[in-house]
Amino acid sequence: MPTRKLLNHLFSNKIEGTLASLSILALLMIIFSSIAILQVETDPASNIKSAEDAIWWTYSTITTVGYGDKYPITTEGRILAMILMTFGVGLFGTFTAFVASHFVSIEQK
């Protein structure tokens, strides 16, 4: 509960607080997924070999673009990819819903 009170105090507008929370959550997901993919993609045939590759793969996966130039080949990496894709769809769906609700609230005023 203290966290909720802090967020209510910091963000008087619910939309601002939600968007800030989503942004922080997305950034944390990108950071931790990049680290995780480097840990599990140890196979010599893997094409995710550096931190740069990991961040690129994570960002293109979470945004559901998935260019296909970097991809996991291990089972653990593919499971991580599934989690990241699901999170990305939910993240951008939520973001879109909050932006739409903001425009609707402006029209109603």
For residues 98 and 20, what is the distance between their CA atoms, to the nearest angstrom?
Answer: 12
Q: What is each CA distance from 26 to 18, 56, 61, 85, in whole angstroms? A: 12, 14, 12, 12
Q: Decide yes or no: CATH 1.10.10.10 for domain 2-108.
A: no
Which helix (DSSP H) or strand (DSSP E) does residue 10 occupy?
helix 2-10
**20-70: pLDDT as tens digits:** 888 899 999 999 999 999 999 999 999 999 999 999 999 999 998 888 899
Q: What is the mean pLDDT of the segment spanning 65-90?
A: 94
Listed by start position, the domains of the chain span: 2-108
Query: Is 0.75 surpassed by the pTM of this model?
Result: yes
84, with CB counted inside 10 A (0-12, 13-18, 19+), is: buried
